[in-house]
Amino acid sequence: MGFYVLRRVIYALPIALSVTVVCFLLVHIAPGDPLNAVAPADAPVEVINALKVAYGFDQPLPVQYFRWLGRALAGDLGTSVATGRPVLAEVMTAVVNTILLAVFAAVLGFSLGAVLGGMAGYRHKGIVDRIATALSVIGVSVPHYWLGMVLTIIFSSKLNWLPAMGAGPGGSKEWLWDAEHLRYLVLPVTTLAVIPLGIVTRTIRALVADILSKDFVQALRAKGMSDRAVFLHVVKNVAPTALAVMGLQLGYLLGGSILVETVFAWPGSGFLLNTAIFQRDLPLLQGTILILCMIFVLLNLLVDIIQPAIDPRMRRS
Partner 1 sequence: MRRLTTCFAGLFLALGLAVPPAQAGGTLRIAMTASDIPLTTGQPDNGAEGYRFLGYTIYDALVNWDLSKADKPASLTPGLATSWNIDPKDNTRWIINLRKGVKFHDGSPFNADAVVWNFEKILNNQSPQFDAKQAANVLTRFPGIKGVKKIDNDTFEIDTKAPDAWIPYELAWMFFSSPAQWEKVGRSWDKFAAQPSGTGPFKLTKLVPHELAQLEPNADYWDKNRIPKTDKLILMPIPDPNTRTAALLSGQVDWIEAPAPDMIPNLKAKGMQITSNVYPHTWPYQFSFVEGSPWRDIRVRKAANLAVDREGLKQLLGGMMVPAEGLVTSDHPWFGKPSFKVKYDPEEAKRLLKEAGFSKDHPVKAKILISASGSGQMLPLAMNEFIQQNLADVGIALEFEVLEWQTLYANWRQGAKDPASRAGTATNVSFAWQDPMVAFYRFMHSSMVSPNGFNWGWYTNSEVDTLLDQARATFDTAQQDALLAKLHTKLVDDASWLFIAHDVGPRALSPKVKGFVQARSWFQDLTPVSMDK
* Stretch of 13-21, 163-171, 200-208, 298-306 contacting partner 1, by CB under 8 A: 163-171
Please say which residue, 117 or 240, places its beta carbon nearer to partner 1. Answer: 117
Does 130 contact partner 1 by CB under 8 A?
A: no
Contact 227, 112 (CB under 8 A): no
| Amino acid type, 5 | V
Does 82 contact partner 1 by CB under 8 A?
A: yes
| Vertex 28 angle, CA 27 and 29, to 5° | 95
Does 71 contact partner 1 by CB under 8 A?
A: no
DSSP letter for each residue of 160-201: --S-SSSSSTT-GGG--SSHHHHHHHHHHHHHHHHHHHHHHH
> Interaction with partner 1 in 257-296: which residues (CB under 8 A)?
262-265, 267, 271-272, 274-275, 278-280
DSSP letter for 268, please: S
- Gap between the Cα atoms of 214 and 210, Å rounded: 7
Please say which residue, 282 or 299, places its beta carbon nearer to partner 1. Answer: 282
Does 94 contact partner 1 by CB under 8 A?
A: yes
Q: How far is the CB of 140 from partner 1 (least distance, A)?
A: 21
Contacts of 10 by beta carbon, 8 Å cutoff, 6+ apart? none
Contact 276, 288 (CB under 8 A): yes
Does 103 contact partner 1 by CB under 8 A?
A: no
Task: State in Å, rounded, how far the first CA of the chain is from the last one.
Answer: 11
* Stretch of 99-107, 173-181, 212-220, 236-244 contacting partner 1, by CB under 8 A: 173-181
If we measure between CA atoms, which residue out of 180, 193, 285 comes closest to residue 246? Answer: 193
SS3 track for 187-245: HHHHHHHHHHHHHHHHHHHHHHHHHHCCHHHHHHHHCCCCHHHHHHHHHHHHHHHHHHH
3-state secondary structure (DSSP) of residue 1: coil
Q: Which of 127, 143, 160, 227 binds partner 1 (CB under 8 A)?
A: 160
Does 29 contact partner 1 by CB under 8 A?
A: no
3-state secondary structure (DSSP) of residue 39: coil
Q: Which of 56, 70, 126, 169 binds partner 1 (CB under 8 A)?
A: 169
Please say which residue, 56 or 70, places its beta carbon nearer to partner 1. Answer: 56
Does 38 contact partner 1 by CB under 8 A?
A: yes
Does 307 contact partner 1 by CB under 8 A?
A: no
Contact 139, 199 (CB under 8 A): yes
Does 149 contact partner 1 by CB under 8 A?
A: yes
Does 222 contact partner 1 by CB under 8 A?
A: no
Q: Which of 54, 63, 134, 229 binds partner 1 (CB under 8 A)?
A: 54
Q: Which of 7, 67, 71, 85 binds partner 1 (CB under 8 A)?
A: 85
Q: How far is the CB of 292 from partner 1 (least distance, A)?
A: 16
Q: Site residues (CB under 8 A) for partner 1?
A: 31-33, 36, 38-45, 47, 50-51, 54, 82-85, 90, 93-94, 115, 119, 149, 152-153, 156-157, 159-167, 169-173, 179-180, 182-183, 186, 262-265, 267, 271-272, 274-275, 278-280
